[in-house]
């Protein structure tokens, strides 16, 4: 018997069952379609039929008497779009689905074409059922996890267990046939199972969850990766649970470790994503002014706590200025050197010893001078076992200007002596000034005199003795000029 004849025989059997007043049992969409064709052809109304599902439970919605079957009419025609929607909705597990689907086609064949529209009551339910089935297919594609069986166990190579909410196993099986090629696999559900041997798809009955306890090496690797990418600082447990319905977690490998990771995050692991070390890691350079990129935050209360730039990470300690708080002359150098970094005091190394000689020759007592640096931490680079001075960057000078301004507010000097180019730029607050253009010429800046001289380190580095003596002389003359400016300010007016 060909398929058409078989379909016709099944339809006639359905008509006879209904005529006898018995529930009409259908197991799938094909059986329902064959029965519906015959019932429509004999003009049997929906309220005259009692449908029973696969489990034998009847859809006892109507109990009207069964009229005598009318002679068979011409075969009814259903558009492809409606038939596809009916086939989709037939997979939705609702107790009255067969009766509902028959009511839809009955209305269509009697001219009520609005039944296919979502604006119609039955049409809206039909669309919802089809949407629920498509969603379940998507979830099954996403949340099935195959586990590999030992090679000696034979086919199938991979097994998976899933508990679908709707009858979508057949559609999902076709998806995995196309996706996994000739590799054998089996998908088991509480109601049915399918097995692909690499060439043919086999439908079998329900199986026990035999693969649930099977853990392969690939799964162990996946769990290791999953743990490594978990960031407790960004955990949103509510969002995680809303994205993956709870009914899927028990069959996912990661479902066994997620509760523990959530619990650990709540008990303190969340802080690992917020440690101070994270803030000190280098990131992408922001192509805007550093000051504009800094968030508003409380300023450090002491120099030892300063983290305004990165120099503190490689320095022994911050080196603050020293001298009387009432000093009329402030001498500003570039930054601490090696000895200053170790001892925590400015100008105690070779440069400080040369500066002491300058003070003596200029007739200025060091105890009356306030000594400080534009940058408070030692910036250096390794050279063998030695730490060699490295010129501070402009952003480091700007970061340290906070402490320089506080020193100005405290000491209120009348004359500032800038030792070298870096100190001059820090004192004037600009990068557009050259040391050679200001030597020997005092500058009036913010109500104070600024005198520029060479830095003691420059005098120590000059190889030619004549040049060394000339640089030393410039320093002495500069200190004398600073003292002269004080004397001039103290002289009584005419």
**pLDDT tens figures, 378-437:** 999 988 888 888 999 999 999 999 999 999 999 999 999 999 999 999 999 988 899 989
- Determine the Cα–Cα distance for residues 165 and 191; give it in Å rounded to an integer: 11
pLDDT at 256 over 80: no
473-493 pLDDT, tens digit each: 999 999 999 999 988 866 554
Tokens matching residue 487: 């004397």
Nearest to 415 by CA among 442, 440, 375: 442
- Determine the Cα–Cα distance for residues 424 and 416; give it in Å rounded to an integer: 10
Q: Is the pTM of this model over 0.75?
A: no
Coil, strand, or helix at residue 445? strand
412: left (phi over 0), alpha (psi -120 to 50) or beta: left
Q: How many CB atoms lie within 10 A of CB 437?
A: 9
Tokens matching residue 406: 């506080």
pLDDT confidence of 10, banded at 50, 70, 90?
low
User: What pLDDT does 245 receive?
Assistant: 72
322-344 pLDDT, tens digit each: 999 999 999 999 999 999 999 99
Is residue 323 within 8 A of residue 369, CB to CB? The reply is yes
pLDDT at 288 over 60: no
pLDDT at 371 over 80: yes
Q: Are strands 415-419 and 329-333 parallel, antiparallel or unpaired?
A: parallel
Rounded to the nearest 10°, the torsion over CA 77, 79, 80, 86 is -90
pLDDT confidence of 453, banded at 50, 70, 90?
very high
Cis amide prior to 156 (ω within 30 degrees): yes
Is residue 145 within 8 A of residue 160, CB to CB? The reply is yes
pLDDT at 28 over 80: yes
Residue 2 CA, distance from chain mean position: 59
Q: Are strands 201-205 and 192-196 parallel, antiparallel or unpaired?
A: antiparallel
User: What pLDDT does 211 receive?
Assistant: 47
User: What pLDDT does 2 receive?
Assistant: 57
Q: What value does the mean pLDDT take over residues 159-181?
A: 90
Average pLDDT of the chain to the nearest whole number: 82
295-314 pLDDT, tens digit each: 555 555 688 888 889 999 98
Q: What value does the mean pLDDT take over residues 220-225?
A: 75
Q: What value does the mean pLDDT take over residues 171-179?
A: 90
User: What pLDDT does 488 receive?
Assistant: 82
User: What pLDDT does 494 receive?
Assistant: 35
User: What pLDDT does 353 receive?
Assistant: 94
Is residue 122 within 8 A of residue 99, CB to CB? The reply is no
pLDDT at 21 over 50: yes
Nearest to 247 by CA among 126, 166, 147: 166
User: What pLDDT does 191 receive?
Assistant: 86
Alpha-helical runs (H) found in 42-118: 80-89, 97-109
pLDDT confidence of 345, banded at 50, 70, 90?
very high
Out of 3.90.550.10, 3.40.470.10, 3.30.450.20, 3.30.1300.10, the CATH code matching 303-489 is 3.40.470.10
Tokens matching residue 270: 């969340």
Comparing 53-57, 176-180, 322-326, the range with the smallest average pLDDT is 53-57
Listed in sequence order, the residues at least 6 apart from 407 whose beta carbon sits closer than 8 Å to its beta carbon are: 321, 330, 370, 372
pLDDT at 465 over 80: yes
- Determine the Cα–Cα distance for residues 329 and 415; give it in Å rounded to an integer: 5
- Determine the Cα–Cα distance for residues 168 and 138; give it in Å rounded to an integer: 10
pLDDT confidence of 42, banded at 50, 70, 90?
confident
Q: What value does the mean pLDDT take over residues 197-218?
A: 70
User: What pLDDT does 61 receive?
Assistant: 37
pLDDT confidence of 67, banded at 50, 70, 90?
very low
Is residue 343 within 8 A of residue 317, CB to CB? The reply is no
Positive or negative CA dihedral for 77, 81, 82, 88?
Answer: positive
DSSP state of 113: G
Indicate the domain borders of the chain: 3-123, 144-205, 217-270, 303-489
User: What pLDDT does 98 receive?
Assistant: 93
Tokens matching residue 5: 């004849």
Coil, strand, or helix at residue 404? helix
- Which position has the higher pLDDT, 424 or 214? 424
User: What pLDDT does 59 receive?
Assistant: 45
């Amino acid at each position: 018997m060909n398929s058409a004849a078989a379909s016709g025989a099944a339809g006639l059997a359905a008509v006879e069952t209904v005529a006898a007043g018995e529930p009409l049992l259908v197991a799938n969409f094909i059986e329902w379609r064959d029965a519906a064709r015959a019932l429509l052809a004999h003009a049997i109304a929906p309220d005259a039929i009692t449908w029973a599902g696969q489990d034998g439970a009847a859809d006892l919605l109507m109990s009207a008497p069964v009229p005598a079957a009318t002679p068979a009419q011409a075969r009814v025609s259903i558009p492809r779009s409606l038939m596809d929607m009916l086939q989709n909705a037939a997979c939705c597990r609702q107790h009255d689905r067969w009766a509902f689907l028959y009511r839809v086609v009955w209305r269509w064949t009697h001219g009520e074409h609005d039944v296919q529209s979502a604006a119609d009551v039955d049409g809206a339910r039909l669309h919802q059922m089809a949407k629920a089935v498509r969603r379940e297919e998507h979830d099954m594609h996403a949340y099935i996890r195959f586990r590999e069986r030992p090679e000696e166990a034979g086919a199938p190579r991979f097994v998976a267990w899933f508990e679908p909410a709707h009858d979508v196993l057949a559609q999902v099986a076709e998806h995995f046939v196309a996706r996994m090629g000739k590799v054998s696999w089996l998908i088991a559900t509480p109601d049915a199972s399918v097995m692909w041997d690499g060439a043919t798809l086999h439908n079998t009955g329900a199986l026990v969850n035999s693969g649930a306890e099977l853990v392969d090496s690939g799964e162990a690797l996946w769990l290791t990766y999953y743990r490594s990418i978990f960031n407790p600082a960004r955990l949103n447990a509510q969002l995680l649970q809303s994205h993956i319905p709870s009914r899927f977690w028990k069959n996912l490998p990661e479902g066994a470790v997620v509760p523990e990771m959530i619990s650990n995050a709540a008990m303190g692991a969340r802080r690992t994503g917020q440690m101070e070390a994270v803030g000190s890691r280098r990131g992408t350079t922001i192509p805007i002014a550093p000051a504009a990129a800094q968030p508003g935050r409380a300023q450090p209360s002491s120099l030892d706590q300063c983290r305004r730039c990165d120099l503190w990470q490689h320095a022994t300690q911050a080196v603050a200025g020293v001298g009387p708080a009432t000093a009329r002359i402030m001498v500003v150098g570039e930054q601490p050197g090696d000895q200053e970094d170790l001892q925590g005091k400015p100008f105690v190394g070779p440069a400080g010893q040369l500066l002491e000689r300058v003070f003596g020759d200029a007739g200025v007592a060091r105890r009356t001078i306030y000594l400080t640096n534009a940058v408070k931490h030692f910036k250096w680079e390794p050279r063998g076992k030695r730490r060699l001075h490295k010129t501070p960057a402009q952003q480091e000078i700007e970061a340290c200007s906070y402490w320089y301004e506080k020193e100005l507010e405290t000491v209120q000097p009348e004359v500032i002596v800038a030792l070298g180019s870096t100190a001059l730029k820090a004192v004037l607050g600009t990068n557009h000034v050259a040391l050679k253009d200001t030597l020997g010429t005092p500058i009036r800046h913010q109500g104070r005199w600024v005198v520029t001289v060479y830095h003691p380190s420059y005098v120590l580095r000059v190889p030619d003795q004549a040049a060394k003596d000339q640089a030393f002389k410039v320093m002495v003359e500069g200190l004398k000029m600073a003292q002269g400016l004080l004397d001039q300010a103290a002289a009584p007016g005419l």
